Amino acid sequence: MPNDISIQLAEGAEEIGLAVMLKDLLLQNLTEHPHKLSDFQKLSIPIGLTVSDADLALTLAFDGTGLTVFPGIRGVPGLNITAEAQTVMDLSNVRIKWGLPHYFDEPGQAVLAAMRQGRLKIRGMLMHFPSLVRLSRVMSVH
């Protein structure tokens, strides 16, 4: 991964397993799939992530060159994703086809079912759709 990209955990986030896991996932994805760097660098909004069944929240503060993961929700994120822990994991398994998330296989169907059942809520999705797609591409392990 280029030296000009940084992913940091803010004070308090280093004690949160999900924050550490997200940092590791992103570092691995960006190292193994350098084409994802372009999407990573275009992310420039804060994204809130709330894990509803674990009483856990993080803010992913993207600034165009890096990411800082903060404990809790800070400010008013442009995107705010609320999901159960399993659904958060399912999100990273969604395949990307033709540059967009592919919802026609098992992981994609699990994500759609979570949305239909209210277990996955994404506020700001319409206003920040390009950022949501970029986040999906960066987070996907495929």
CA 119 to chain centre: 16
| pTM > 0.85 | yes
Kindly report, residue by residue over 61-89, the tens digit of the pLDDT: 999 889 999 999 999 999 999 999 888 88
132, 142, 108: which is closest to 35 by C-alpha?
142
In the chain, the domains with their CATH numbers are 6-139 (3.30.1050.10)
CB 89 within 8 A of CB 139: no
Q: What are the E-state strand segments in 52-105?
A: 56-62, 66-71, 79-83, 95-97, 100-102
